[in-house]
Amino acid sequence: MINYKYFFQGLRSLKNFDSPAIALGCSFIALGALLKNIGFNIEQSILSTVLTYALPGQLVMAESFLIGASLINIFLAVWLVNARLYPMTIALMPQLKEESQPKWKYYLSCHFLAVSSWLIMKDRIETVEQKYRIDFWIGIGTGTWMTAIIATIAGYLLSDYLNQDMVIGLAIVNPVYFTCMMVGAMKNKSIGTAVILGSILGPLFFIVSPEWSILFGGLLAGTIAFIIGEKYE
């Protein structure tokens, strides 16, 4: 069973000053409004967040749906976008592993993986006893997941009161928050190099190939950062 002491500690971490709850909520309000505007009903909008819980993937899904893409194309597009979470999974899950904990907790908690919850856990992981880290993580994940669901509903209901500029403004709050969190996490050469080079190379590649700029810029920046980290740290 879940240790509720650590579960609620994780849940309460969303109340901290650096919590992603507000930024996350703003972006999912924008998503809810967008889904209504392109023809989704409220049940489909809620289910999108419940099952996918990944803003970039849901935006790709909505855009693909809007242009009439087939179901298999939508699935592949969302799958490729959400593959960005794989490195975070590899980095985090070994630190949560505890032999006495049942495996179902790990399978369940993978659904809660997002940049917001990952950053909170990485910041607090050393303060939590190894045995109960998975319970703490499930608390964080549940809190961010429920925030996204509630915000999607709110955005859907408020869509008639939000103009295009307001929706765009709400949508970019989360990326700005992530950028600030990553800057705050620049405690070593590799992370700092990845953030700085990614910020430079992304726009440069955009000039050459807007569709592939994020992938190419991120891949090159991450590779260089990894080499520097291996050599100097």
User: Do 156 and 201 reside in the same domain of the chain?
Assistant: no
What total of structural domains would you count in the chain?
Answer: 2
The pLDDT, as a whole number, for residue 185 is 61
The range of the structural domain enclosing residue 124 comes to 4-175
User: Do 159 and 193 reside in the same domain of the chain?
Assistant: no
User: Do 142 and 208 reside in the same domain of the chain?
Assistant: no
180 in any annotated domain: no
Low-confidence ranges of the chain (pLDDT < 50): none
181 in any annotated domain: no
Single out the residue in 130, 154, 175 at which a domain terminates. 175
User: Do 146 and 79 reside in the same domain of the chain?
Assistant: yes
- What are the DSSP calls for the chain, one per residue? ---HHHHHHHHHGGGSTT-SHHHHHHHHHHHHHHHHHTT--HHHHHHHHHHT--HHHHHHHHHHHHTT--HHHHHHHHHHHHGGGHHHHHHHHHHH--TTS-HHHHHHHGGG--HHHHHHHHHHGGGS-GGGHHHHHHHHHHHHHHHHHHHHHHHHHHGGG--HHHHHHHHTHHHHHHHHHHHHT--SHHHHHHHHHHHHHHHHHHHH-TTTHHHHHHHHHHHHHHHHHHHH-
User: Do 22 and 116 reside in the same domain of the chain?
Assistant: yes
Q: What is the pTM of this model?
A: 0.81
